[in-house]
Amino acid sequence: MTEARCYKLGIDIGGTFTDLTLIERGGRGIYTHKVPSTPDGPSRAVAQGTVELMNKLGETPAAIDGFVHGTTIALNAILEHRGANVVLVVSAGNRDILEIARLAKHDHFNLRAASPPDLLPRRRVIEVPERTDKSGLEIEPLDITVLRTRLQSLESSQVESLAVCLLNAYVAREHETQAAATLAELFPGRHISISTELWPEIREYERAMVAVLNAYVQPIMSRYLRALQRDAAAIGMHTKLYITQSNGGVMSASTAEDKPVRTLLSGPASGVVGAAYIARLCGVREAVTIDIGGTSADVSLIRNGEPVHSTEAKVGHYPLVMPSVDVFAVGAGGGSIAWFDPIGLLKVGPKSAGAAPGPACYGKGGTEPTVTDAYVVCGYLNPDNFVGGAMTLDRRLAEKAIGTVAAQLNVSLQEAAEAILDIATANMITALLPMMTKRGVDPRDFGLIPFGGAGATHACLLAEEIIIPRIIIPPSPGTICALGAAIADVKNDYIKSLRGDLAQTPAEAIRDGFAELESAGRAWLAGENPVIDDVIIRRSVDARYYGQAFDIEVELPEDPETLAIERIAGKFHDTYEALYRNSDRSARIDLVNLRVRITGRTPPLALQVLRPSEGTPISKGTREIWYRGKRHLAQLYERSHLAAGHQVEGPSIIEQFDTTTVVAPGFVAVTDEHGVLMLTRRN
């Protein structure tokens, strides 16, 4: 009897396309698919794409026994300011915490710069008398009577979600718990976000933002996840749903519904997770990643084979201190619109044509020139074979749109298109170089891993500008975020503030703190009920020299039971010196936080190995392209026909279902045994 085939599905919803990656259990195969996104109902594209992909294999969605989904629903709600009506409860005297926002300036050279839009008006910030000191000692009990009176003055129908953030609650949570109980009694059925349940870290403004952001997106995320699960069940897919997180891991849909703030940067994070897997597969430990989609280009770094994390992320203008994969986005995607500023300078982005109407060449009513239209005019894209022939591009409409730029610049169509691509490249570099400089890395020591629908198309242009010696193009660059979702580990982060002079801190307090966090992590992991092979615990501390305002994270490889204070101090000095090329080993060190990351490792993915090539690759034709101010006759290849060891010299175009790779003049591309394209410069 034939053994039933089982699959794990990863889905990522982008601004233009919804990407699907299906992994057959046992490493038998990986299958990809793309469908246009449906912004008015994102789960429709998920259901449609799943049915189409399974039909290709002669299967039904019932064969899927693992479903991981990356979504930007919560992120878009914040960026577009269409979240819930939130009420925030704060300690007396703290009402203006969100408006003061540490007096952070987002445009230092503009005296008239407007402050970021408020997520909630001041009238919906409720003060309550209470006070706990920094050691957790209660100074003034929570005044439930005052809280009730002030909450009852609100119009109940206007309250969709509530948040609580009280001073010093990170060391004593009782007052927040009491306040939340009162909120639940007065507003039954409403979502309640408690700051210390989400992220119990010192710094009340940042903690308040975590609670408010969570409350702001919770109702819309809850509705979406329930609709998604209904749509999945309607097509016969009854497996448990997992959602990707900003830290590169996944969590159950029930956790995501309760804590959607963890999903805000999950889409870009999944792409970096997928890219890191490809890097390790090729033996590459240090890499720059760039995800060029329809709306933006997201850049990140891989160090020692793993994504780099940050606790300094921004969601729009709002800080997010929860750990996330360090991704910086710039408005330079395939749909980014080219325009002229008031003094006649050509700009690209951040406004995008999106999925509807899309670039002019889509023929859906768009008329403004975009990066994709520039690709078409330069000959990089085949109008008759876009997305595997699922869409036809209109070169005439692309030329008409680019013609408006050419007329204003008084140049040819090709020169105008190249100018648009040059500016888009410069925008990407403005995001990438500061990130690399902050980490103290040299791009000449790194590889470039491009993905997204336009990543492989733009890769050579970018690599030439920042002098990256090699480009690593995954087998399916256009669906790498979906791959990252499908292979991501189940992961969660925990923090405990423990402040004081490190030398005077009892080792027992540190051990007990780590034990508390690890216990919480293991309990959470058991509740998620994932299919995992192993559990990994990562421990670290946040510390700084006495008198400094910012701390650094120091990873601790040792078991906390045997970890001495002197070892932590030595590790801090080493880490500080690696970052800043300086340290003071006689200075006092202040401990700030303990951190634990628990990871449930999912079963490893085994890619099928390609057969070694026999002979040279066969070109399927030629096409004229415009590159660096010159016309070139490029050879055309089908990527699925390239075998291991096949070598393609530029100028060439390699086409596949989900992207087009431009092998520029002076570059050579070699296919490895896993189907990865390695591009390097000829001598």
pLDDT digits (tens, 9 = 90+) for 59-108: 999 999 999 998 888 988 898 888 999 999 999 999 999 988 887 776 77
Question: How do residues 334-359 score in pLDDT, each as one tens digit?
Answer: 999 999 999 999 999 888 887 778 89
Question: How do residues 500-517 score in pLDDT, each as one tens digit?
Answer: 999 999 999 999 999 999
Question: How do residues 478-497 score in pLDDT, each as one tens digit?
Answer: 899 999 999 999 999 999 99
pLDDT at 270: 93
Contacts 24+ apart (CB under 8 A), 128-133: 128/89, 128/90, 128/91, 128/92, 128/166, 128/179, 129/92, 130/91, 130/92, 130/166, 130/175, 131/91, 131/92, 131/167, 131/168, 132/166, 132/167, 132/168, 132/169, 132/171, 132/172, 132/175, 133/168
pLDDT for residue 2 is more than 60: no
pLDDT at 488: 94
- Radius of gyration of the chain measured on its C-alpha atoms: 26
Provide the residue ranges of all domains of the chain, joining segments of one domain with +. Answer: 7-77+223-263, 83-205, 490-601, 621-681
What kind of architecture, by CATH, is found in domain 490-601? 2-Layer Sandwich (3.30)
Mean pLDDT of the chain: 91
Question: How do residues 270-317 score in pLDDT, each as one tens digit?
Answer: 999 999 999 999 999 999 999 998 878 889 999 999 999 999 888 888
Q: pLDDT: is 603 or 446 the higher one?
A: 446
pLDDT at 27: 61
pLDDT at 293: 83
pLDDT, mean of residues 160-185: 97
pLDDT for residue 1 is more than 50: no
pLDDT, mean of residues 257-270: 93
In Å, how far from its chain's centre is CA 400?
A: 35
Pairing, β 250-252 against β 241-244: antiparallel
Question: How do residues 576-608 score in pLDDT, each as one tens digit?
Answer: 998 888 999 999 999 999 999 999 998 887 777
| 8 A C-beta contact, residue 7 and residue 22 | yes
Reported as a pLDDT band with limits 50, 70 and 90, residue 3 is low
Return the structure tokens found at 331.
């408005």
| Percent of the chain residues past pLDDT 90, beyond the cut | 74
Burial class (CB in 10 A: 0-12, 13-18, 19+), 259: buried
Question: Which amino acid, one-letter code, is at 509?
Answer: A
What CATH number does the domain located at 7-77+223-263 have? 3.30.420.40
Alpha helices in 384-506 (DSSP H): 395-409, 413-439, 455-466, 480-487
pLDDT for residue 112 is more than 90: no
Please tell me whether residue 678 adopts helix, strand or coil conformation.
strand
pLDDT at 104: 74
In Å, how far from its chain's centre is CA 447?
A: 20
CATH topology assigned to domain 83-205: Rossmann fold (3.40.50)
pLDDT for residue 4 is more than 70: no
pLDDT at 217: 97
pLDDT at 450: 96
DSSP assignment string, 609-670? PPPBP-S-PPP-EEEEEEETTEEEEEEEEEGGGPPBT-EEESSEEEE-SS-EEEE-TTEEEE
pLDDT at 283: 92
Domain pair 7-77+223-263 / 83-205, same fold: no
Question: How do residues 651-668 score in pLDDT, each as one tens digit?
Answer: 999 999 889 999 999 999
pLDDT at 521: 97
Question: How do residues 123-155 score in pLDDT, each as one tens digit?
Answer: 999 999 999 999 999 999 999 999 999 999 888
pLDDT for residue 518 is more than 90: yes
HSE-CB at 272 with a 13 A cutoff on CA atoms is: 34
| 8 A C-beta contact, residue 269 and residue 282 | no
Q: What is the pTM of this model?
A: 0.90
pLDDT at 323: 94
Question: How do residues 205-233 score in pLDDT, each as one tens digit?
Answer: 999 999 999 999 999 999 999 999 999 99
